[in-house]
Amino acid sequence: MAEDKFTTDLPTFEGAACPLPLPHSDQIVLGHGSGGRMTHDLILRVFQAFLSSPELAAGNDFAGVRLPRQSGLEGRIAISTDSHIVTPLFFPGGDIGRLAVCGTVNDVAMSGAVPLFLTAAFILEEGLPVETLQRVLASMQSAAQEAGVTFVAGDTKVAEKGKVDGLFVNTTGIGWISPEVTIGGERAQPGDAVLVSGTLGDHGMAVLSARGELGLVSQIESDIAPLNGMIQAVLAAAPHTHVLRDPTRGGLATTLNEIARQSQVHIQLTESALPVNPAVQAACEMLGFDPLYVANEGKLIVITPPNEADAALRAMRSARYGENACQVGTVLPGPAGRVTVRTLIGGTRILDMLAGEMLPRIC
């Protein structure tokens, strides 16, 4: 692939800074759902004060829980749960049902686990057409079959009209982690290669364009996909992989900031290597968005030792949904907890964590 096929044209204002949103410590605002700094502050300040455990404190998208000794089984169980409130319910490339299944399967798979089971809970608004619910359920069934997982439990509640935006879905995933696999955001090491499986920002811009409020007309489609097959191929080719992560809310930049802080390393990206669909780039430029902060739902970040990077790339490119995989950066020793990008003109720009909400109700 030619290096300039997916070239971004991001601004490079050295020293420029945007004002941070107000802290909002007394009530919940949309920014608390961004996946960025406000979300992290809410988790640390409120949730972990009441619901704390070593698994939650690790800060990953999954919890790796050891099987009881009396079970006689080796390895760990991976568990992850997620809620989905996307609007509209149907958009180019996907819908809330496919999003719920793939999002939870991917969160479980980021531990290196083999996803096995799902539960689903639905909150339905009074007046929701049954045909709409059937379309969502059919999409969930199809996505689960593609991912090779089985629904084993479910629940349904109905709320009065006006109390829910049509349909909310919560899913929980359970998988098995082999004893040989140790993956986590705290394991990135200096010298590691940073790989991504394809173009950035597709999901967020597809959902935004489907809302019709801004008059956007584009062919952008969401990238929603189950990534567990690709992940197993990567682990077979690069067994010493350190980190797997899907850059959902907050995009690539926020996700890499999370990893850099967990591992206390510096992650440096190369702007010319970042893959962005030209239609997504054009829409972002028109709206003043940075595609590095726009959500993805079918992209994989792999951080692996340099001697296994080529093997991991080959595995990604050979797998479904990974044809455009490429290396976008490198892990450096310091400054710890920082993410930067080498710009097209040779400068360096800091990529901070997303502060507030950029695109609400996208996942």
- My answer on whether 67 and 198 are in the same domain is no
The pLDDT of residue 279: 94
Does any domain span residue 32? Answer: no
The CA radius of gyration of the chain, in Å to the nearest whole number, is: 20
**Which of 125, 151, 177 marks a domain boundary?**
177
- My answer on whether 137 and 65 are in the same domain is yes
Residues (pLDDT < 50) of the chain are 1-18
Q: What is the dihedral of CA 40, 242, 266, 46, to 10 degrees?
A: 10
The pLDDT of residue 24: 63
The pLDDT of residue 212: 76
The pLDDT of residue 37: 77
- My answer on whether 253 and 330 are in the same domain is yes
Give the pTM. 0.82
In DSSP notation, 57-70 reads HT--SSEEEEPPGG
Q: How is residue 178 written in tokens?
A: 């082999």
CATH number for the domain that contains residue 261: 3.90.650.10
- My answer on whether 118 and 243 are in the same domain is no
The pLDDT of residue 343: 93
How big is the CA angle at 303 (ends 297 and 306), to the nearest 5 degrees?
145
Exposure of 306 in the CB half-sphere (CA atoms within 13 A): 8
- My answer on whether 296 and 150 are in the same domain is no
The pLDDT of residue 35: 61
- Write out the residue range of the structural domain in which residue 204 sits: 193-350
Computed over every residue of the chain, the mean pLDDT equals 86
First to last CA, the chain: 31
- My answer on whether 271 and 309 are in the same domain is yes
Q: How is residue 115 written in tokens?
A: 């996803």
- My answer on whether 335 and 298 are in the same domain is yes
- My answer on whether 341 and 234 are in the same domain is yes
Which residues are 302's β-sheet partners? 195, 244
113-147 confidence digits (pLDDT tens): 999 999 988 988 888 888 899 999 999 999 999 99
Number of domains within the chain: 2
129-138 confidence digits (pLDDT tens): 888 999 999 9
**Which of 147, 177, 207 marks a domain boundary?**
177
The pLDDT of residue 163: 87
The pLDDT of residue 5: 39
CA distance to 47, 149, 155, 225, 301, per residue, from 152 (Å): 28, 9, 11, 21, 29
The pLDDT of residue 74: 73
Does any domain span residue 304? Answer: yes
**C-beta of residue 201 within 8 angstroms of C-beta of residue 282:** no
Q: What is the largest CA-CA distance in the chain?
A: 60
